[in-house]
Structure 1
Amino acid sequence: MTTNADNGRTTVGILFGGVSSEHSISLITAKGVLGVLDHEKYEPVLIGITPWGTWHLSSEEELGRLMDGVALPRFTGEGPQVSLPMGDPSEGLSLKYDDASFETGPHLDVVFPLLHGPFGEDGTVQGLLELAGLRYVGAGVTASAVGMDKHFMKIAFESAGLEVGPYTVVTARDWANDRAGAIERIKKLQLPVFVKPARAGSSMGITRIEDWADLDEAIQSAQKLDPKLVVEEGISGREIECAVLDGFGHEMPQASHPGEIEMVGDEHVFYDFEAKYVETASSELRCPADLPQDVQDSIRDKAVQAFLALDGEGLSRCDFFYTDDGRVVINEVNTMPGFTPISMYGMMWAESGIGYGELVDRLIRLALDREPGLR
């Protein structure tokens, strides 16, 4: 393990913000991780990405101010701009100040990319970190890209023998050149259906429709976030989630107890963005989920199988349906799941015997254990 020569601590780049619609969630995640990071062992170096894509050196104090009393904070970049040293991480960050002067900033031993959604969780930033020769927490380039795209993710799951629900894909080209054909394919699905951006997370841009008259509006809403859409047939059953944590070296990953979100009241038809991050009192976690033991075991096995199907690394959260007729149907995997103290990933591991702080420490150690480049 490499360390900061000045104080013996391992420097951890906490990368947060980003240009996706999940910018604010990333800030909340960063604050949660910093709250449990062992500062005697690790020295955090905060790097924020503004909604327009510039990278800036930040601080715990600045992040705290941004979060103070704000439900959905926004990082605007008060500190010097930052760029990564391509190919030689020992050079340290390059810092650019307002007066156009440059200086070398801290070097990074490992990066924790607490970014959600496109241009952060989808392999783009992972590729940049690979080019910089930096170790980082989480999935590599290919697994991140496939895990972000609900279309290719389903193909990977089907190839691995996992059952997925009925769906169709609508690209921008489909919608522009053969709208009637796209609608015909969609209407082969049974109502209700869910119209989703193919590459967005945190339930952003998703519409549940029960009347085909609402289809056009739902597609327009989803296309604001992604020109490619996935339309899924609603599945009658319970939504069950399971967290996966990687093993060291060639050890097999392990899965948490399955968890189930139970909606409280009638405000939300499904576990949408507002229920996850704003009106959190509208939902409760039951972990382990109230399921027969053999079903729990099957879900845990399938969660690991899905992780391996994507060639995952570090962590993931896997979402399933347990259908009314007793089948386990996979919905999706999130390679950098919401990681706030109230997020499902951390809570499921807490109920499985690994606390939030221990989880953060293990993920960093897993990243330090992994060489950059092809593995």
Structure 2
Amino acid sequence: MPKKKKVAILYGGRSVEHAVSVNSARNIFEFLDKSKFEPLPIGISKSGQWFLTEGVSKDIQKGQTLGLSLNAGKPTFLLEKSGEKFSVDVLFPVLHGTDGEDGSIQGLIKAMDLPMVGTGVLGSSLSMNKIVAKRLMREAGLPVTDFVTFRYDEKDKISFTALSKKLGLPFMVKAASLGSSVGVAKVKSKKDFAAAVEEAFKYDDEMLAEQYITGREIECAVLGNNPPEASQPGEIVISKNYEFYTFDAKYVDPDAVRIDVPAKLPKSIAEKIRKASVKAYEALHCKDFSRIDLFLDKKGNIYINEINTIPGFTNSSMYPMMWKERGVSFAELITKLLTLAQERYDRGKRIERDFQSSLKF
């Protein structure tokens, strides 16, 4: 019998999306094919400490404190209390938001020289920053909403009048590099504006104001590399009790949304969404898997909102639902992602890291 691969599931993290990460990781731990893989849950506390935990738990600090010995290709984790060491074969980051999807943890894993599920340093950092992502997608000829950006040091110069004239009312205000609708507000009038700006800058040094699209919330799951494949689109139908798809609507209120998978769309529109999703995925250098969030207006125009390089795997998450509709179970999807990570790592070995020259040192 082949030896089981040790899979380190990284979860938690120093992010406002810490709890969402725990819920996602819990499902990945549960559905991982234990006949092929041995899961090693590694929780990162809100203060940034790493722990080996018993299963996936919100009480991360009850685990065993971890240290790390860096040796490219053969890094070892150290249980600080007992001195016991162990290694892993592949890492599966399930870290949403800051330090998880922005390239930070991906850089550490790259230095470890181990296979990793998901997008690498470049694609993660590009996709996480909504401003950079929108500019690159626009450059690639993809449809995005009109937007204006600001730095924190420009905060006192932001004009509601100028923005409403350019973007119309209502418009959205967002922190540049967060997910799960944290730091996001819908501005309908001048009285909403100051609080929206404060909320965005509470979480980031950059913010953007963007055109509000009246239409349908569409999502599309992309899987694989060379070439990637898109699922059929799904739709988030939001209760009229919510102004937009807020954090509470996503994760707290069970009656906030209805999820249609697949979305009820004409074939031509569904295909247009699938092609745009793959193009966006490739434009932002995504790998293995991502979820593309879009808007569809009443005229049939689509707008790409953002890309999630580590989409949620909670019980209400769209990404696994969209692949389940295609006949791929939760367990099969996790196995596929781990296989993609290993294949991509093996292909990367062809890249030379040494250059023979006449330079003397």
Q: Which residue of 2 aligns with 1:256?
A: 231
Is the contact between residue 172 and residue 227 of structure 1 (CA under 8 Å) also seen in structure 2? yes
Q: How far did residue 319 of structure 1 move?
A: 1.0
For residue 368 of structure 1, what is the amino acid of its counterpart?
Q
CA distance in 1, matches of 2:165, 2:45: 40
Residue 90 of structure 1 and its aligned partner are, at CA, apart by: 2.7
- Look up the match of 2:223: 245
* Residue of structure 1 in register with 2:241 after alignment: 267
Cα distance between partner residues in 1 of 2:228 and 2:242:
34
Structure 2's unaligned 5+ residue stretches are 352-361
Q: Does 1:306 find its partner at 2:280?
A: yes
**Pairing 1:137–2:91 present:** no
**1:83 match:** 67
Q: Which shifted more, 267-276 or 364-373?
A: 364-373
- Which among 43, 47, 52 is matched to residue 52 of structure 1? 47
By how many angstroms is 1:184 displaced? 3.0
Task: Count matched residues.
Answer: 349
Secondary structure of the residue aligned to 1:224 is helix
2:84 is matched with: 103
Q: Which residue of 2 aligns with 1:126?
A: 106
Separation in structure 2 between the aligned mates of residue 103 and residue 182 of structure 1, nearest angstrom: 58
- Tell me: CA distance 1:171–1:182, structure 2 relative to 1, closer, same or farther (3 Å): farther
Aligned counterparts of 1:334 and 1:186: Cα–Cα separation in 2? 28
Following superposition, the deviation at residue 91 of structure 1 comes to 4.4
**Residue 42 of structure 1 corresponds to which residue in structure 2?**
37
> What is the one-letter code of the residue matched to 1:102?
G
Distance, in Å, in 2 between the alignment partners of 1:128 and 1:260 is 35
TM normalised by structure 2 equals 0.92
Cα offset for 1:92? Answer: 2.2
Q: Deviations over 1:27-86 (max 9, x none)?
A: 0001111111111110011100000101111121xx3xx4xxxxxxx4441233223332
Q: Where does the alignment leave 5 or more consecutive residues of structure 1 unmatched? A: 67-73
The residue identity in structure 2 corresponding to 1:260 is: E
Distance 2:158 2:199 in 1: 19
The answer (yes or no) to whether the contact 1:341–1:356 under 8 Å persists in 2 is no
Distance 2:128 2:161 in 1: 24
Matches within 5 A, 1:57-76: 57-60=52-55, 63=56, 66=57, 74-76=58-60
For 1:295, the equivalent position in structure 2 comes to 269
Paired residue for 2:11? 16
Letter of the structure 1 residue corresponding to residue 265 of structure 2: L
| 1:1-375 alignment, distance < 5 Å | 8-60=3-55, 63=56, 66=57, 74-97=58-81, 102-104=83-85, 106-175=86-155, 179-180=157-158, 184-185=162-163, 187-247=165-225, 251-264=226-239, 266-371=240-345
Q: Hey, what does 1:71 align to over in structure 2? A: none
CA distance in 2, matches of 1:91, 1:346: 31
**CA-atom RMSD in angstroms:** 1.9
